[in-house]
Structure 1
Amino acid sequence: MDQQSPPSPAPYSARIVSGLSELASGYDVVLSDIWGVLHNGESYFHAAADALTRFRASGGTVILITNAPRPHGPIREQLDRLGVPRSAYDSVVTSGDVTIASIVEQGGAPLFHIGPERDHALYEAVAQATGTAPLLKPLAEAGFVVATGLFQEETDTPEDYDADLAVMLRRKMPLICANPDLIVHVGDRLRYCAGAIAERYAAQGGRVIYAGKPHAAIYRAALDDAAAKRGAAVRPERVLAIGDALRTDVAGAVLQGLDVLFVTSGIHRDESHRTGDGQLDPDAYQAMIEAAELRPVAAIPALAW
């Protein structure tokens, strides 16, 4: 008798929702990305803030979880400057928060910093945590490297750092990547992030220590924060992640066993919004998700209630 092949798995059918309200009753906690979901670096999205505020008003807890390479304090200040209401979230957890521990683990070795000077708030936080300020040195005198971004964010490309990467590779220097994102939209402009440098270094055989999504440490910190806010343990099946990047937000949530709502108008808008009128193209979205082999619980063009 011929042996029958096992049945093929059912094809993934992308669910597209118009508002968080269609999902909210199934969750106690939302872990929401910030840049691309709540603001674009220049202005905040009122409908997104309203959706998170309404979720909290219904008894939910909102933790903003971001790959910003600074401690959460400066990120709260940025949200305040943009006008994001504090009613939209309970707390903020950043990849910068996670990076602090990685720097401390280097045992006081001097470091070389790649990124803008504003990110030095990270080192002030290390000093507050340990009582000793990290030693920032030129590359030739450093024991490891911390990348928070690019020096000239508007004009630099990852290729501009190849000479430094060659030195780092020759000396087998670890690179702590404080922001695993590859790119970000600032208004309508694209800007490279530290993750693009780290990816280039790793491809050459360099050792990279990642903080932030899609890696587990930032999710542990965010879920611990949510449990503290709620005064009880958080069940993973009652947690919904929200984000706009497949590589970090969606992949990270899937790796942690969390449901994820994918915001399609962020980083991937050119791939999924092909109709010419700014609307989500369901066929293009379906093809993108199948190619990525990731399974968001649902997609939404832009976060709203």
Structure 2
Amino acid sequence: MTQIIDSLAEISESYDALLCDLWGCVHDGVRALPEAVAALQAFRAKGGTVVLLTNAPRPRAAVAAQIDRLGVPDDAWDTIATSGDAAREAMFRGAVGSKVYFIGEDRDDVFFEPLHLVEDPVKIERVALDRAEGVVITGPFDSHQPPEVLRPQLLDAKTRGLTMLNANPDIVVDRGDTREYCAGAVAQLYEQMGGSVLSFGKPHPPVYDLARRRMAEFGDPVPDDRILAIGDGILTDVKGGMLEGFDVLFVTGGLAAEETRTDRQPEPDALTAYLADQQMDPPFSVGKLR
């Protein structure tokens, strides 16, 4: 049964590295969360390594710039691993062909910038759906609209047998008090329609492989039993961390705040019921990262 803790400091001595989710844990899409920032700074001050592990469908440089604007200081983290970079590696290796139909917002154009990690990358051309060899999605065209509005395009893509490369497995996020749809919601609908999806980011292995490589830049590899995964997504952060064999700290006051009746801390019976329903049992839970 999960142990409800009051702060990261209660358990931090058992770990040398954190794989910490961003949205819902360190910021709310509008501003940094001061208690979370302080907890990460304290962990690093004692010699720990903090990898910000995010399902953002963008390169790490773009995410670093974003969190700087939101008020997350540089001394709260060491490196960043994004689902965007993991997906870009696959795309430039030709996972969905060279001619792709893109679903996403203009701000995610950086997804197509050159990636020097791939030797002899495939030259990617963005084309209309009727010319496409595959589909790349970083998010809906409009994050406030449900995935169903894209059903006509998805049906066309499925009929033509196109594989979708999903750069963000998140279903929804909360930007302040507003819930928005992510690429994962569209990919989920595509799969339900019979389409084929390649997903990158938590809970899928490629982004964890990337995180390990980024972590290794700071010294010797960290054993899995000395890594703590932190996140508020039960089917992304928690599931992914547990599948990788890491201990997990579930932040209940993010996406599952209502289900777990979280104010400062989750209501124990509600948390137990929620975890049973999701068939997850993370070792630790906390209302907010602090």
Q: Same fold (TM over 0.5)?
A: yes
Letter in 2 for 1:69: P
Which residue of the partner structure matches residue 143 of structure 2? 153
Distance 1:221 1:98 in 2: 7
Letter in 2 for 1:76: A
Contact 1:126 1:132 in 2 (8 A): no
Pick which of 27-36 and 96-105 moved more: 96-105
Contact 1:144 1:174 in 2 (8 A): yes
2:106 aligned to 88, 108, 117, which one? 117
Letter in 2 for 1:302: K
Contact 1:93 1:222 in 2 (8 A): yes
Letter in 2 for 1:134: I
Q: Secondary structure of 1:51's match?
A: helix
Mapped pair 1:142 → 2:132 = yes
Q: Secondary structure of 1:92's match?
A: strand
For residues 1-305 of structure 1, what are the structure 2 equivalents within 5 Å?
13-106=1-94, 109-126=98-115, 134-154=124-144, 156-229=145-218, 231-273=219-261, 279-304=265-290
Contact 2:93 2:121 in 1 (8 A): no
TM-superposed CA distance for 1:105, in Å, is: 2.6
Contact 2:94 2:122 in 1 (8 A): no
TM-superposed CA distance for 1:106, in Å, is: 2.0
Which residue of the partner structure matches residue 9 of structure 1? none
Distance 1:125 1:79 in 2: 22
Contact 2:171 2:181 in 1 (8 A): yes
Distance 1:294 1:83 in 2: 32
Sequence identity (%): 39
TM-superposed CA distance for 1:127, in Å, is: 7.9
Contact 2:264 2:288 in 1 (8 A): no
Contact 1:127 1:134 in 2 (8 A): no
TM-superposed CA distance for 1:45, in Å, is: 0.2
- CA radius of gyration, larger in: 1
TM-superposed CA distance for 1:132, in Å, is: 6.8
TM-superposed CA distance for 1:131, in Å, is: 6.9
1:162-189 CA-partner distances (Å, limit 9, x unpaired): 1011111111100000000000000001
Letter in 1 for 2:154: L
Q: In the superposition, relative to structure 1, how do residues 103 and 265 fare at CA in structure 2: closer, same or farther (>3 Å)?
A: same
TM-superposed CA distance for 1:125, in Å, is: 3.4
TM-superposed CA distance for 1:265, in Å, is: 0.6
Mark the runs of 5 or more structure 1 residues left unpaired by the alignment: 1-12
Letter in 2 for 1:173: L
1:170-213 CA-partner distances (Å, limit 9, x unpaired): 11100000000000000001000000010111112211000100
TM-superposed CA distance for 1:236, in Å, is: 0.3
TM-superposed CA distance for 1:39, in Å, is: 0.4
Distance 1:59 1:195 in 2: 35
Distance 2:163 2:201 in 1: 17
**Number of residue equivalences:** 288
Q: In the superposition, relative to structure 1, how do residues 168 and 132 fare at CA in structure 2: closer, same or farther (>3 Å)?
A: closer
Distance 1:48 1:77 in 2: 18
Q: CA RMSD in A?
A: 1.6
Moved over 3 A (4+): 125-133
Q: Secondary structure of 2:198's match?
A: strand
Distance 2:123 2:179 in 1: 33
Contact 2:203 2:237 in 1 (8 A): yes
Q: Secondary structure of 2:189's match?
A: helix
Q: In the superposition, relative to structure 1, how do residues 279 and 254 fare at CA in structure 2: closer, same or farther (>3 Å)?
A: closer
TM-superposed CA distance for 1:128, in Å, is: 8.7
Contact 2:264 2:287 in 1 (8 A): no
TM-superposed CA distance for 1:126, in Å, is: 4.0
Distance 1:74 1:235 in 2: 29
TM-superposed CA distance for 1:237, in Å, is: 0.3
Letter in 1 for 2:207: I
Q: Secondary structure of 1:99's match?
A: helix
Q: Secondary structure of 1:43's match?
A: coil
1:200-239 CA-partner distances (Å, limit 9, x unpaired): 111122110001000011111111211221x102100000
Q: Secondary structure of 1:125's match?
A: coil
Mark the runs of 5 or more structure 2 residues left unpaired by the alignment: none
